[in-house]
Amino acid sequence: MSVDKETVIKIAKLSRIAISDSEASAMVGELNGILGWVEQLGEVDVTGVEPMTAVIGIDGRMRDDIVNADPLTGGGVPEKILANAPAKEGNFFGVPKVIE
């Protein structure tokens, strides 16, 4: 499988990365080089092999159902949450108008 310029533009759109026409052209060769190389994985017989989901076998843990059990991940800290916001109003993040 190989990508063309149209596909590169589509991937960039899915990735939410603005891309110019000339950047897209330049990426066709780069991405095809990498994709062509990873395609050797198709040689491997994976009949009956499960895809890996966890590299070290551990059971999923449940935490105790306690509000703010760990203060580091608890709530009630809007000033900390907003401390690095590029734009804010009150206790809200500011973004461009979404609904006309």
Chain residues binding another protein by CB under 8 A are: 1, 3, 7-8, 11-19, 27, 30-31, 33-35, 37-44, 46, 49-56, 58, 60-61, 63, 70, 72-73, 77, 80-81, 83-87, 93, 95-98
Smallest distance from another protein to CB 31, Å: 7
How far is 9 from 15, CA to CA, in rounded Å?
10
For the chain, state the CA radius of gyration.
Answer: 23
Give just the sign of the alpha carbon dihedral 84, 89, 91, 96.
negative
Smallest distance from another protein to CB 40, Å: 6
Q: Is 22 or 73 the residue whose CB approaches another protein more closely? A: 73
Report whether 35 contacts 4 (CB < 8 A): no
| Cα–Cα–Cα angle for 40, 43, 48, rounded to 5 degrees | 130
Q: Is 5 or 13 the residue whose CB approaches another protein more closely? A: 13
Smallest distance from another protein to CB 58, Å: 7
